[in-house]
Each structure stands twice: as C-alpha cells, then as structure tokens.
Structure 1
Amino acid sequence: MKIVIDVSNEKKAKKLIDILKDIPYVRSIKVESEIRKEKPDFESVFGIWKDREITLDNLRKKAWGKVIK
C-alpha cells in the first residue's frame, strides 16, 4: 500500500519523515521535491482583441509590410 502526503512546510515535512522512519512497518520513504509553477489563467486573455478588426491579412501586412496570398 502507498500513501502520498503533500506537505506545504519543508521543515515540518522533515520532522514527519523522521517520525515515519521510526515506525517498524514502514518499508521505505520516497521524497519528491516538486517545483510548482502556477498555471496561467487562460481565461484572463479572453476579450483582448474585442472591438478590434484583426484579420490574417492585417497581421501579415504589419509583420512583413505586404499581404502574401
């Protein structure tokens, strides 16, 4: 059986690991340190082009100075 415990405080996590190591029936302890990056809020960009006339041809003209077809 496996138990996954997510601990927010590293200092307290180390104390918990020490306690678990003293329990005779605990076979092994695997510690994974994960760096969590916040997911970007996809919905925050909704509407940034609202009320603007943006077409593929306009974008191409601004990028390359001409319309390529």
Structure 2
Amino acid sequence: MEIVVQIHDQYKALKFVEFLRAFDFVEITQMKNADEKNVRNENMEDFFSCAGLWANREVTADSLREQAWRRYSV
C-alpha cells in the first residue's frame, strides 16, 4: 500500500517521518522538500534572533510574578 501525505510545515513533517520510522512495517521510499539540516538550522536561527530582547531591562522573576497576579486579580 502506498500513501502520499503533504505536510506544509517542514519541521512537523520531519517529526512525523521520525515517528513513522519507529515502525518496522513502514518503509519511507521518497521524500520531497525535506532537507533536515536546513529546517533545524532555520529553527535555531529563529530562536537566537530573540537573544538580547530583554537586554538593559530590569526584569526579575518577582516583577513578572507581580505583574501576572495583578492581571488575574479581579
């Protein structure tokens, strides 16, 4: 049996393929537009693009907690 699946999010597609490979009865014969290294590098770049977002700001766990409690106390 052959099944064709189109997944638009490359990262999720790779995770799905990893899941399928865990089954001994599934054989992945062809994948298109799935370059695992590029997807992982893009995700890491997205993560590190936020580095320094809180630089030069006085943010502590206590100040965040205080703001959160003010928001939810009605």
**Larger-Rg structure:** 1
TM-score by length of 1: 0.44
TM-score by length of 2: 0.41
Where is the helix percentage greater, Structure 1 or Structure 2? 2
